[in-house]
A = this chain, B = another copy of it.
Amino acid sequence: MNKEEIKAHFLDLQKSIINQLEMADGAGNFGSDTWQHHQGGGGITRVFTNGNIIEKGGVNFSAVSGELTLAASKALEIEAKEYFATGVSIVLHPANPFVPIIHMNVRYFETENGNYWFGGGIDLTPHYINKEDAKYFHKQLKAVCDKYSDSFYPKFKIWADNYFFLPHRNETRGVGGIFFDRLNEESTSLKKEDLAAFVIELGNLFAPLYAHFMLKNSTTPFQDENKHWQSLRRGRYVEFNLAFDRGTKFGLETGGRTESILMSLPAQASWEYDYHPAEGSDEELTLNALKKGIDWING
């Protein structure tokens, strides 16, 4: 499978996810901005507004190519001059605090000297953790992983725990999911075709998986205190994305399109000095479950 075919699959994936999300939401729609990269290629940024369920979100496609700067090749730890990168990135912030925030990314990278890899991940950030939901989420991810390699889910689950982590808070971002990078024949013993099939199948899982959570709780009644907590949790999401997320940092530093990268930020977020939820509250239960190493499937 060559880069043009992978790019075409990702473009189809973007369309398919958008159709399903618009259907699940029932009201909002995705605006569309086509942009050019300053070196080569570009992308289609589609941001969701005025939704019934999704307050703010984006489903972005990009396929860019160009010369690797010294800083970029150093950061990527590769020796190459030219690169091609394509991917789909999604972050969705729901209005109802009982619907979780979700993130997905699938990407493909190659250089002129034949090196390539796939990367990506899906992780869930509930404002209120529900163990059954977390179990359902992880089981669906595991089912796709297991079709390709028994080693994928256990390895990628730990990778997500470590990646989606706020060291200054000693908190995971949410209930994790899977994260992977640099997948190629060398690192996995799987053929390029199989790895491509894996990320595309994962991409295709996304919309029905999130639609399940959208429909489950989008009409659950909530109080001001639930919105307040949601707003504080969004503040943590902002902290992670701006201060720690390597994708965001790499994008902003290498002259990526700012508005496309920062579509991941919520419509609104809050900070309150030294906030501690009441003892025994649902908020405290959630906070106590933001830990690495929880076995959500069998736990």
Contact = CB atoms under 8 A, between A and B. Distances in A.
Interface stretch (A71-79, A195-203, A259-267): A259-267
Given A242-B238, A243-B242, A258 B169 contact: yes
A186 interface: no
Contact of A267 (B248, B249, B259, B272): B272
B274 A259 contact: yes
At the interface, is chain A mostly helix, strand, loop or mixed? mixed
A268 B231 contact: yes
Interface in A7-53: 31, 33, 47, 49
Interface residues of A, number: 33
Contacts of A265: 235, 271
A273 interface: yes
A31 B273 CA distance: 10
A241 to B, nearest CB: 8
Given A259-B273, A267-B270, A243 B252 contact: yes
22 contacts: A31-B273, A47-B274, A49-B273, A56-B271, A167-B252, A168-B252, A168-B258, A168-B261, A169-B258, A231-B268, A235-B265, A238-B238, A238-B242, A238-B269, A239-B262, A243-B249, A243-B252, A259-B274, A262-B271, A266-B271, A267-B271, A268-B270
Interface of A: 31, 33, 47, 49, 56, 58, 167-169, 231, 235, 238-239, 242-243, 248-249, 252, 258-259, 261-263, 265-274
